[in-house]
Structures are given as C-alpha cells and as structure tokens.
A and B are shown apart, each in its own frame.
Chain A
Amino acid sequence: MNTAQAGTLESMDCLVTVSEAAPGTGVKIQIAGSSASRFRTAMEKKAAEVIASMGVKDIELSIQDNGALDIVLGARIEAAVKRLIGGGR
C-alpha cells in the first residue's frame, strides 16, 4: 500500500501519515497525542477541510500530535498528501 509522511514529533508539530484507500472508502482520520483529548473535533475538521480542498476523496490519515496548531496541522497534511500523490517517499 502506498504511504507517505510529513512533519515531526517536535513541540508544536505533528507527524502525519497518509495511505491510499480504495475508491469509495472515504476519508478515515486517526488522532493521537497531546492535543487529542481536548481538540479532536477541531483537528478532524481541519484535516477534512485540507483533504477536501486538495480534491482527495479516499484516504487514510493518521496524526501523531505534539501540540500542532491548525496552521501547522494543515501544512503537514498538505505536504503528506502531496508526497503521496507524487509517489510517496
């Protein structure tokens, strides 16, 4: 399965892992880490927005968070998806 990653586990960053998913399976988001207990809803919303804006329909996304703000989360997801589309790494 094709997989790509972007980000780090440094403070205020997150490590985003994305994997190809079969057509029709939709967007699956997994969140773990320091902000997960209080910001899950906000993080899911941001992730869904970024993925939709990139025109991706089916994907599995896992976020290992260490305090990333939305601005960082968005950048990491975008980078991971671009790497996935560009052939992964």
Chain B
Amino acid sequence: MAKNLLGREIPDFIEGYGKTKLFQGAFALKPEGYRAGGKIRCVNSTCTDKRVSDIKAAIAASGLKSGMTVSFHHHLRNGDYIVNMVIDACAEMGIKNLTLFPTALFGVHKKLIEHIKNGVITRIMGSVNGPIGQLVSEGGMEVPVVLRSHGGRPRAVAAGDVHIDVAFIAAPTADKYGNICGTQGKSACGSLGYAFTDAQYADFVVAITDNLQPYPAAPISMSQLNVDIVVEVPSIGDPAGIVSGTTKVTRDPLRLLIAKYASELIEASPYFKEGISFQTGAGGIPLAVTAFMKEAMIKKGIKGSFGLGGITGYFVELLKEGLVERLMDVQSFDLEAVRSIGENPKHIEISADWYANPWNSGAAVNMLDVVILGATEVDVDFNANVNTEADGALLHGTGGHQDTAAGAKLTIIAQPLLRGRIPCVTDRVYSVTTPGEVVDAIVTEYGITINPKRKDLLDACSAVKGLPVVSMDELVSRAHKMSGPTDPVETEDRIIGVVEWRDGTVIDVVRQLKKK
C-alpha cells in the first residue's frame, strides 16, 4: 500500500485490475514507445457487401468468444437499444465472462444487471450509474470497475492498456460497405465522437444501423476503412431518449444566482476578450452561465472563437448569431445541435481522442479558455469528486471533467453549497476525480472562491467592485456550520472501483459499502 501525490492509499496491486501506477501530478507522467493497434485486415473485390443477416450472425462473424472485450458508444444515451440487444444475444449464444467497455452507461442499461448476475459480463470498464452503480457499490461484481475520463479512455486504447476485441457501433445511418454517420436517419444523434477510437483500434468492428443508405452514403463521418460488417435492425434506439427537446435556460433562482457569479468571475478574468473559447455543457447552471456571458459579450462587443464539448441548441444559437465562430462537437445534446452539425460546416464533429486525449499531439481541451463544471463535492485543497455520492456509492462517470479541467486556463466548479443538508465543500472529498491543482475556482450561492495558487485571479476579482469573493476557509466553515458534523461512510476493505487520472495513473480507489 502506498500513498499517491494526493495522500490517497492505493495498493500496488488490485485484484482484477492489476499493478497500479500512482498518480503523481496532473502532467507528470510522460508516455514512451509506440501506439497499439488492431488486427490488420484485408478485404478485396470479392467482398462488395459487408451486410450480415442479424446480430447473432454478426457476433459469430466477429469471432467474439468468452473472456473478450466488447465496446460501445453512448451517443444514443438513454434511448440506446444496442448494448442490451448485443449482450442479450451474447447470453443466448453462451458467451460469458465479457469485459464491457462502454464510453458510458445509462439508466436504460439496468437490464445488464441480469447479465452481471449470470456471468455474461464479469467486468465493466466505464461509468456505472443508477441500479448498476448501486449493485457494484454493494459488492455485486467480482472485479472492480475502472473509471476513465473521456480523454483517458482513448488514451488507454491507443496506449494498449485496453484492447478491444469487438466494437459494436450504433450507426444512425450506414451503407452496406460500412460508411457511417450520426446526423441522418430516424435515430440521428449528431456527433459520433466517442466511437472513433474504438473503430480505429478494435480487432473487429460491427456497425448496427436502422437507416441503410445506398453506397456510398453521404455525409460520412466514419468510413468503411475500419468497419468489418454491417447489420440492419428495425431500430437502434428510442428517439425520445436519444436527444432532448430544445434546451432552455433555467428559471431556478438559486441556479441563476450561481451562474451570475460564475459569469462575473469570467468577465473579471483576463480570458474575457476577443476570441474567448469555452465549454459549458448542458446542465442548468452552466447553460445559464452561457446566457449571462452572451449578454456580457454583446455589451462588451467581443466574439468567441469556439465552443467545445457537448453541444446544445443554446450554443448553436451563439454560432448562428456570430458570437462564436466554431463549435467543436464531441456529443450533440439536443435536436437543434443534431440539426446544426448536419448542416453547418462551422459546427465540427470531433472524436474523444481529438477532444481530450492527453497523449496525442494536442487535444482540443488544450485550446480552451474557460470551462464550467459541477461536482458532488470539492475539498479545501480544491480536489473534486464527481464519481461517488455522499453515501459513498459509485454512481457517476468521470466524463470530460479531468480533461477539461487540465486543459482550460480557467476551470470553474459551479455548484450550490448545499444539496439538502449535504454540503458540496468539505475538508476532504470521499474520493478524488480531479486534483485541485487544475481547479481554479468554486462558485456557490455564497460567492466566488478562488484557489489561492491563482493569485492573478484573486487580484482580478478584487479589482471589480461588488464581486462576492469568499475564501475557502470561510466557505468550508459555513458548510460545517450549516450542515453539522458528518458520520463517516462505512466500507469494507475490498476495492470495487478504480478511478484513473487521464494519464492512466490511479488517482483514487472506491471501496465496497458496508451492509446496513
């Protein structure tokens, strides 16, 4: 057992995970050697149609066997039919011991619990939430879950930490030779950003579509070069769960208040100038920050260079109005975003690798000025936890939290100080997702709290009259005063989750909850 840079106790070896590398700082570890790769394929003119009849035929053709690793993307979100469809088929075909390597899982995947219990899935590398998260937290899987960020995942694949045997790619549109795109068809989801790395590195790639178009389909997002077979099914997902309606700015006064403070911090920072780039996601507070920033940008007469990450209709509006020049879209959140990425050449589809991988020749997050994030808790050292809930259950994926925080020049965590009685600021977070060294400020309904290492930001804020700056000491003592003392989370020794930093080192581990 050794302590990593943040003082977290990490065993040298974790059963089911292997030897650990200790987190040693956000940018400390440098890669060596060469990228991994998938199997070399050869297809010649004897094959002019890659279609097979159904999912089982595809699984058989892929050579998938017990003990292998299968990957999925989460662009169909809570509307996804593919993960359940494929794993059900695997179960019927007697395939067991699979490692599930999704880019994320959603509530709709709770059906997998039966396959976890009957041994079809024995390992998950990816986010777990809802009932699956609860099951894992209570010790329902033999092997720990491995959590990686959106950038850490493609890094792990490219670096050979994870080898994908078969990638199943839900394709809203495809042709018979495996050209794919996400912007067309009844199950359109916009960007297919998270699927690119899997297509490039898997030994075998299956495209599953409900909108087969004549060859060659156009537009093409992922090409035939990496797709081995194509399956047509009646439906790949439920449109109602794939994209939401137009995302509206919240009217909730608490969220608006926090968003206002966050926006004022951005306006006071040196980054609020012509060409500013930002990522704000789809949550209530971040979206409201965007709305306040928009007002401020118009007032000051400045324009942004690009918006990054998960894209909403609100960002599309900014693009149309010329308040940002480009959108770099790894995930399209709503109908407006899906429509825009299909029509507007300034709205660019980017892969997760491009978006956030720390080990390539430069990810998009490096070009980011400002990011607004959330967290379940932040501690006095500004370490943030997004993976575990107050009761210690592992219920959330890492998403792009680590990557954007590491990349952006100004990383803001905007969050109410209290969710009910539970404070979001504490002496020590239960588990760490993102280290304090890359978090610049916390914004709550009580004001703006700046990481002391960012003296420049503190100075910038104190130069603005009326900006409510609150020190971390004040904030945490307020949280203590209002919430009262907390009881410790009671756990077993067994590790059920490994939280990797984006470079593959272990930033923290999550232990099994004690039975109540």
Contacts and interface: CB of A to CB of B under 8 A. Distances in A.
Interface of A: 11-12, 34-35, 37-42, 46, 65-70
B484 A70 contact: yes
A29 B485 CA distance: 19
A9 to B, nearest CB: 12
Nearest to A34: B420
Given A42-B484, A69-B482, A35 B420 contact: yes
Contacts of B486: 38-39, 42
Interface string B58-102: 000000000000000000000000000000000000000000000
B74 to A, nearest CB: 28
A78 B420 CA distance: 20
Given A37-B391, A38-B489, A39-B421, 8 more contacts: A35-B421, A35-B422, A38-B390, A38-B487, A41-B485, A41-B487, A42-B486, A67-B421
B483 interface: yes
Interface in B395-431: 418-422
B483 A39 contact: yes
22 contacts: A12-B420, A12-B421, A34-B421, A35-B422, A37-B391, A37-B487, A38-B391, A38-B422, A39-B487, A42-B483, A42-B484, A42-B485, A42-B487, A46-B484, A66-B420, A67-B418, A67-B419, A67-B421, A67-B422, A68-B420, A68-B421, A69-B421
Nearest to B421: A35
Residue from the set B391, B419, B484, B489 with the largest chain A CB neighbour count within 10 Å: B484
A41 B420 CA distance: 17
B198 to A, nearest CB: 37
Nearest to A36: B391
A37 B418 CA distance: 16
Contacts of B420: 11-12, 34-35, 66-68
Contacts of A39: 421, 483-484, 486-487
Nearest to A41: B487
B484 A37 contact: no
A21 B153 CA distance: 59
B385 to A, nearest CB: 14
Contacts of B422: 34-35, 38, 67
A34 B392 CA distance: 13
A69 B485 CA distance: 12
Nearest to B423: A38
B34 to A, nearest CB: 47
B483 A69 contact: yes
B265 to A, nearest CB: 26
B476 to A, nearest CB: 16
Contacts of A38: 390-391, 422, 486-487, 489
A35 B423 CA distance: 11
A84 to B, nearest CB: 25
Contacts of A66: 420
Max count, chain B CB within 10 A of own CB: residue among A38, A66, A67: A38
Contact of B390 (A11, A37, A41, A69): A37
Nearest to A67: B420
Max chain B Cβ within 10 angstroms of own Cβ: one of A35, A41, A42:
A35
Contacts of B484: 39, 42, 46, 70
A39 B421 CA distance: 8
Interface string B482-497: 1111110100000000
Across chains A and B, which 4 residue pairs bring their CB atoms closest together, nearest first?
A: A67-B420, A42-B484, A37-B391, A35-B421
Residue among B391, B420, B485, B487 with most chain A CB within 10 A: B420
Contacts of A34: 420-422
B172 to A, nearest CB: 38
Nearest to B486: A38
B222 to A, nearest CB: 43
Contacts of B487: 37-42
